[in-house]
Amino acid sequence: MDRASLDSLIAAYGVAPSSDLALVISLELIQSSGIDEALPFVANIKAPVDDDRAVRLFDALLDSGHHNDARSFLDESRPSQQILLARCALMDGDTEAARKLYVAATKDSPDLASSELDNLYSVQRMAADGNPKNQKVKLRLVEKAEVVELATFVQPEQSSVNFDDVAGLVDVKKQINKKIILPFQKPSIYQRFKKKIGGGVLLYGPPGCGKTLIARATAGQCGAEFLNVEISDVLDMYIGESEQKLHRLFEKARASTPSVLFFDELEALAGKREHGRNSSGANIVSQFLSEMDGFAQNNQGVLTLASTNTPWAIDSAFLRPGRFDRMFFVPPPDKLARAEILRLELASRPCSSDINKDVIASNTSGFSGADISNLVETAADEAIEESLEQGGDVPISMAHIKQALAEIKPTTIEWLTTAKNYARYANDAGRYNDVLDFINKFGK
């Protein structure tokens, strides 16, 4: 736009000011005369601005240290602009607000995470010391750690479940109590007997039988800091990033002992190296192994808990002493436990008095906890359908459960069949004895 047209726009703005016009003029002025002349117009942009222009304006403001003026036009409901607000907060040194905005933005738009990380780095560098060239290397390290934290870091979990919410699994609970909870609650006696607190425990068993549930309950039970690691928190598309993140996680756990790091679905991170698709998988495994190694690291007070339903796919280096050397089998629920899970599932729903939990428990051999929960959901659907037809609440009855039973099949049998083969033919050091005992006791 030539100067004459711009001047006539400015004149028009004097007669009838509007947010739209202020936006057009600001962008033109930034280009032709610099940010200072544009600032009075920027202040009058009140309506949300499209992403492309928002970024252009924001960058100009940021360069001149006027990022706070951007708040008048940034739209907090758009992830792409939430990121810009996160950068504003970082410039002000409010990392907590920045973290929240960043997490909110990347939750629904994960692509933003990778494209914006560099911006966050550079903003942080500028915020940390006015001159980007100074201390570049040193800052880079600090930044990296902080931005990872900012991006995805696992927040310590306040677990609301405890052992009362887990039906059955009496043996597993006893073992967990002895090996995990007591050492955290009564450290002095362990110290007197020179027993180390921490180490690794692997929960394994068929899907849907309560591995994740019991890990959460353990957190609720023991009051240690509990870091629940999602695989997606660690895996990163950039080479070397995943290892970094893993390292930071362990560092965080070491810094706040006693702590429990929980890796759900461990096989995704710790799969056999020869099965790995590429060498980056192998790098993660090596990093993971060295983090767990008591010799290289001080892991006193850090307990690594993990779960998997394919223990045979885990790289066997993980199962050696000093790593996940304790393996607990989380079996399918027995009859008593199935009745209890039914009670938990039905407790808060309208039920008819004809429901006989013992009979249902007897007829659901091989069902996992998740199958039973699915059974109750299906019966509830039937009851809702009838309620809608009849115009009044029809409680869940035995007939609904029976109908649902015809549809839902147990899902643990297939797992047990596979596990039996490993237990029979690849039972290194009696690793799967618990599975064999279970099959001998309950299997046909």
Q: Which residues bind ligand ATP (CB under 6 A)?
A: 166-169, 207-213, 307, 309, 333, 337, 341, 344, 369-370, 373
Compute the least distance from the CB of residue 332 to ligand ATP, in Å.
9
Question: Which amino acid belongs to residue 333?
Answer: P
CB of 262 to Mg ion, least distance (A): 10
Residue 72 makes contact with Mg ion by CB under 5 A: no
Angle of helix 111-128 relative to helix 79-91, nearest 10 degrees, comes to 20
In whole angstroms, the minimum distance from the beta carbon of 330 to ligand ATP comes to 6
Q: In angstroms, what is the minimal distance from the CB of 59 to Mg ion?
A: 44
**3-state class (DSSP) for residue 203:** strand
Q: Residues 38, 30: contact at Cβ < 8 Å?
A: yes
8 Å CB contact between 340 and 217: no
Cβ proximity to ligand ATP, 22 vs 337, nearer residue: 337
Place of tokens 């002992």: 257
Of 23 and 154, CB closest to Mg ion: 154
Pick between residue 197 and residue 203 the one whose CB is nearest to Mg ion. 203
Nearer to Mg ion, 208 or 301 (CB): 208
Q: Cβ 165 to ligand ATP, closest distance in Å?
A: 6
Binding at 43: pick from ligand ATP, Mg ion, none (beta carbon under 5-8 Å per type): none
Beta carbon nearer to Mg ion, 61 or 416: 416
Binder of residue 169, out of Mg ion, ligand ATP, none (CB less than 5 to 8 A by kind): ligand ATP
Site for Mg ion in 204-223 (CB under 5 A): 211-212
Place of tokens 């750690």: 145
CA distances from 268 to 7, 144, 272, 325 (A): 62, 24, 10, 19
Partner from ligand ATP, Mg ion, none contacting 397, C-beta within 5 to 8 A by type: none
Give the helix/strand (H/E) hosting 372.
Answer: helix 369-390
Please, what is the minimum distance in Å from the beta carbon of residue 103 to Mg ion?
Answer: 23
419 binds, among Mg ion, ligand ATP, none (CB under 5 to 8 A by kind): none
In the complex, the smallest distance separating the C-beta of residue 416 from ligand ATP, rounded to whole angstroms, is 14
Q: Are strands 326-329 and 225-229 parallel, antiparallel or unpaired?
A: unpaired
Give the residue nearest to Mg ion (CB). 212
Measure the CA dihedral 302/306/311/315, to 10°. Answer: -50
Mutual orientation of helices 335-346 and 369-390 as an angle, nearest 10°? Answer: 40
Q: In what order do the strands lie in the sheet with 326-329?
A: 225-229, 259-263, 302-308, 199-204, 326-329
Q: Measured from the CB atom, is 209 or 439 closer to Mg ion?
A: 209
Between 258 and 311, name the residue whose CB sits nearer to ligand ATP.
311
Q: Pick from Mg ion, ligand ATP, none: which does 227 bind, CB < 5 to 8 A by kind?
A: none
Q: Which of 415, 417, 408 is nearest to 444 (CA)?
A: 417
Cβ atoms of 325 and 200 within 8 Å: the answer is yes
* ∠ Cα 348 353 358 (to 5°): 85
Site residues, Mg ion (CB under 5 A): 211-212
